[in-house]
A and B are shown apart, each in its own frame.
Chain A
Amino acid sequence: MSDTNKTTNLNIKQFIQKVMEGNYAQADKHLQAAVEQKLAKHMKQAKTKNIFKK
């Protein structure tokens, strides 16, 4: 598992934890961070593709 996936999973765990504690503001932050990391991963996958390569 890569570092990005570990960080994403950690954010999801903290999101669940904060939801169970009722701390919804922190839960929102962790969920937002997880979504941003997933988006960044998708963008990185798209970026590594050489646009001039046939």
Chain B
Amino acid sequence: MSDKATITSVLKEATEGILTEDALAEIEAVFEESVKERVALHVEKALAEQDDDHAAKLEKLLEAIDTDHTGKLNKLVEAINTDHASKLAKAAKKFNKTLNEDASVFKEEVVSNISNYLELYLERAIPQEDIKRAMNNTSAVRMLKQLREALAVDSALAQDTIRGAVKDGKNKIQTLDKQVSSLNENNEQLTRELVRARSQLVLESRTKDLPETKRKYMFKVLGNKTPEFIEENYDYTLKLLEKTEEERLEGFKKEAASAKQIVDRPTKKQVIAEQKESVVTEDKSSDQPQSGLLPNYMDELRRT
């Protein structure tokens, strides 16, 4: 009111009463309107500046708050991770322990409980007394059967007729056993004699054309053999004998050849006598053809 009064009074003094009260009031209203508009512009400008300033400050504040919160959140996440990792490790350890130890114990307990339950159920369903009674009955029946068999044999043996028959049978069995033994011995002896006779027969038939010396030798070597052995080995034994004889004669020839230088030449009569004697002895000793050997021997003696 003081400003309004001042503007009205200033205009009155400046115009010295030229302007009427209405004009003054209108001028004052226009002036106030203009002042209000300018004030509104200034206020709006100040508010815009303040808003920009506050926006910038708020942005900085938000950035700072975000940075702070981010750091704090990172620390929080790290702490939570560490905590959760340790808890997980503990949980895994506990789980493993539970799985490996407690579960085994639990399993054994479950098995033991089921076993006990089965025991109790069986005892209730089939009482132990019944089982014992059944087993006693079975054992008694088996034992009575064995006793019955034993007693039946004894009572049969106790009767005189059966006992006499049994004794008679026993004596007959013993007699027949002795007879079988003696028959077996006779059979073996006869078999041996038969084999020997067959061997002699075979040797007789095979050596009937041989000289006496070879025949004796063949009987000596193969006389106690079986006929089959004689048939198989007769030719080989004969060849062996002839070979031995030849070797012996070769030995005589060599001996004579080595001894002819130191021995004096015999007279013709002695030679003839020796020749006759040797022919006789050779005819006696073997049937080997010696007719070719003696002339050679004599020719050798004459040549030296």
- Chain A residues with CB under 8 Å of chain B are 8-9, 12-13, 15-16, 34-35, 38-39, 42-43, 46-47, 49, 51
Task: Specify which chain B residues have a CB less than 8 angstroms from the CB of A8 in the assembled complex.
Answer: 115
Task: Specify which chain B residues have a CB less than 8 angstroms from the CB of A16 in the assembled complex.
Answer: 110-111, 114
Q: Give B113's nearest chain A residue, CB to CB.
A: A12
State the majority secondary structure of interface residues on A: helix
Q: Is B118 an interface residue (CB 8 A)?
A: yes
Q: Check if B136 sits within 8 Å of A35, measured CB to CB.
A: no
Q: Check if B115 sits within 8 Å of A9, measured CB to CB.
A: yes
Task: Specify which chain B residues have a CB less than 8 angstroms from the CB of A34 in the assembled complex.
Answer: 115, 118
- Chain B residues with CB under 8 Å of chain A are 107, 110-112, 114-115, 118-119, 122, 126, 128, 131-132, 134-136, 139-140
Q: Give B117's nearest chain A residue, CB to CB.
A: A12
Q: Check if B111 sits within 8 Å of A13, measured CB to CB.
A: yes
How near does chain A come to B104, taking the closest CB pair, in angstroms?
11
Task: Specify which chain B residues have a CB less than 8 angstroms from the CB of A47 in the assembled complex.
Answer: 135, 139
Q: A9 to B112, alpha carbons, bound, how many Å?
A: 8
With contacts A43-B131, A47-B135 taken as known, whether A38 is within 8 angstroms of B119 at the C-beta atoms is yes
How near does chain A come to B56, taking the closest CB pair, in angstroms?
70
Q: A8 to B131, alpha carbons, bound, how many Å?
A: 20
Q: Check if A51 sits within 8 Å of B122, measured CB to CB.
A: no
Q: A39 to B126, alpha carbons, bound, how many Å?
A: 9
With contacts A35-B122, A46-B135 taken as known, whether A12 is within 8 angstroms of B128 at the C-beta atoms is no
Which of the residues B128, B136, B140 comes within 8 Å of A42, measured between beta carbons? B128
Task: Specify which chain B residues have a CB less than 8 angstroms from the CB of A38 in the assembled complex.
Answer: 115, 118-119, 122
Q: A38 to B110, alpha carbons, bound, how many Å?
A: 17
